Amino acid sequence: MRLTSILQAINPNISAFAGPSHNGKIIHYVGWGDQIISPGNSMHYYETVHSYMTENTVLDVDDFYRLFMVGGMQHCTGGSGATSFGAAMDDQPALSSDAEHNVLLSMVRWVEEGVAPDNFTSVHYNHGDASQGVDFTRPICKYPLSVRFVGGDPNSADSFECALLA
């Protein structure tokens, strides 16, 4: 039973990690097109953590845990969406080396400066190759917000917003 509790990382009580003695941070992202692990599992875990922490601790989940749902991304990387945002498995670079475009730099800013990410701008390159230029950009929104087109150039992240969809 002890091994099971170690291997099954689904315990919603992450207060030891998130609490003041550790002050841990989680940026959790998952692709809507993940063909290996259902994106619903990530949303369920986030909701379970949120419920548990709200009911059993004084910690605010938004202070330590952010979930980002990436449109068109497969398992960890790749896919038809704007999936290059500085993730560990990206084979193409983020659009820019700053916290607004690079998930790792966003984590660094959150830990070192206390600025938590609400969204990123991600990029899809022509033919999946940065040397071929930008095909389109999209925001990646903090869950439960979703990307919504507001008008303009459909290839520009500026034409979208993060909104709570009804």
Question: What are the extents of the domains in the chain?
Answer: 2-163
What pLDDT score was predicted for residue 55? 97
SS (H, E, C) the chain: CHHHHHHCCCCCCCHHHHCCCCCCCEEEEEECCCCCCCHHHHHHHHHHHHHHHHHHCCCCHHHCEEEEEECCECCCCCECCCCECCCCCCCCCCCCCCCCCCHHHHHHHHHHHCCCCCEEEEEEEHHHCHHHCEEEEEEEEECCCEEEECCCCCCCHHHEEEECCC
Residue range 90-123, pLDDT digits in tens: 778 888 999 999 999 999 999 999 999 999 999 9
Q: Is the pLDDT of residue 133 over 80?
A: yes
pTM above 0.95, yes or no: no
Least confident of 29-33, 66-70, 79-83: 79-83
Predicted pLDDT of residue 1 = 57
- How high does pLDDT run on average in the chain? 92
